[in-house]
Amino acid sequence: MPSDKFSRQLRQEAEQWRSEGLITASVYEQLAQRYQFSNIETAARNRFVVILIGLGSLLLGLAIITFIAANWQTWSRELKVTLLLGLFVSVNTSGFYLWRRPTPGWHRRLGQGLLLLGALILGANLALMSQLFHQSGLLYQLFLVWGLGVLTMAYSLRFTWLGILAILLMGSGYGQSLSALTSIGEFFWLRVLVQYMPVLTGLMFIPLAYWCRSSWLFRLGAIAIVYSLEASLIHLGLVNSPAWVVASACALPPALLWAYNDSLWVKHPLPVESFGRIARTLAVSFLSFLFYVLSFHWIWQTSPILTGEEVSPLPWFVLSNLFVLGAVTIWEWLQLFPQLGVSLINRSQKVNPPVRGLLTNSVVGIMIVTSALITYWHLSISSLPITAVWLFNLLLFLLATGLIREGLSQGQRRLFWGGMMLLTLQIFSRMLEYNIGLLFKSLVLFLCGVGVIAAGVWFEHYIKSGRVNS
């Protein structure tokens, strides 16, 4: 659906075209019906009403909070509980009624706002209820329980914003619980939730993304899986862990994301952006960050080989997370083998394959395996302070050129400029990392600036000529 700004500008242009005789009155009426010129002013009034209602609701909410705070100490506990529950139920009921109205408009947007407000009131109720009944607890427990409640609301209503709020709440709670990762003993279910967060995150949020058909919910859910896995390994001492665990931390997230495919979980194509494409974008982003960090020489000089006595054993729940995610990753990559067989048959039969860039399944797979082998070799067999730096700089260069090639083949500025910025960042970092003269640094900066400008001008000319030829 076109935006209101576009429709308003089109209406002004169409009125001018009609006055100049460029279009007839019938063509103008067709444009008016197609782009709904008559609803432009109504939509503007609805937005103004929503703003007024939102501002008034905010002031009313502040007034209610101030009134409750002024009388909180004098009221009985029964009255406090009744007020808290009544506020939660009334806000969510009103939001649900307005949100489920058949006609879209300001009523539906107001209902969504009230549902989000109800989710926030849920957290306030949990905190105040625990205070009323003298149930002390840590802050991360509140965030986790609050997040589970909001997640239940999101599944019940199929509301994307509630799912996003649940991810943020549970991510905050998990980040604060890392200090007590191995000593959470108050509640068994809470300990299981925190310790198995990498696996449970996928079970909680990825189906919700398909249920809501939300690409942003899938994107945040995938990031939450990688974040919970890497955060748990880093907090438990990734440097002092066995070499194969460090290699898995480098290779497992990009391998899991790159091989992800929508057809593995749903039978029909999604009416939104492919989640598999989003997962591959996240995999490339992870590899870019990994290769860039490991391209610095000081990392390899401060990570010596550990003996058997110095290696810290990992808890069993971390090994379980690695095993489950590793099994899913292997299963996903096995599904890519039939595609590889089809491509080999096409080559043998001299069938023209589609144009593809450098970042194919085999190339990305080799990059992932190479990064895992280098870290494993360095930590368990022989130190590689120089070879590892050269190899990861080479991988970073290949990834940058692969993005540039993909941008050229697909005509996408995002991929092209992503590769250019990654290549420029690599050159700039190597220049600052090593002790070289200022004249040489100025020459490198000058060449990088000229190269970026020339590449941008050439790319725009390439895109323009390609569109003209097509």
Q: Identify which of 174, 176, 194, 198 has the alpha carbon closest to the alpha carbon of residue 186.
A: 194
The number of beta carbons lying within 10 Å of the beta carbon of residue 176 is 16
Q: Identify which of 199, 193, 119, 124 has the alpha carbon closest to the alpha carbon of residue 156.
A: 119
The predicted pLDDT at position 219 comes to 93
Q: What is the mean pLDDT of each run of 10 residues along the chain (470 residues)?
A: 66 81 80 73 66 70 71 79 85 84 70 83 82 72 90 91 92 84 66 89 92 90 93 74 85 93 68 78 94 88 57 78 92 75 44 52 91 89 85 91 83 82 85 74 76 75 59
Tell me the C-alpha distance between 187 and 144, whole Å.
Answer: 12
Q: Identify which of 253, 125, 114, 235 has the alpha carbon closest to the alpha carbon of residue 175.
A: 235
Look up residue 189 and give its two tokens: 């279910």
Q: Identify which of 131, 130, 214, 124 has the alpha carbon closest to the alpha carbon of residue 167.
A: 214
Residue 61 buriedness (CB in 10 A; 0-12 / 13-18 / 19+): middle
The predicted pLDDT at position 347 comes to 44
Tell me the C-alpha distance between 159 and 169, whole Å.
Answer: 16
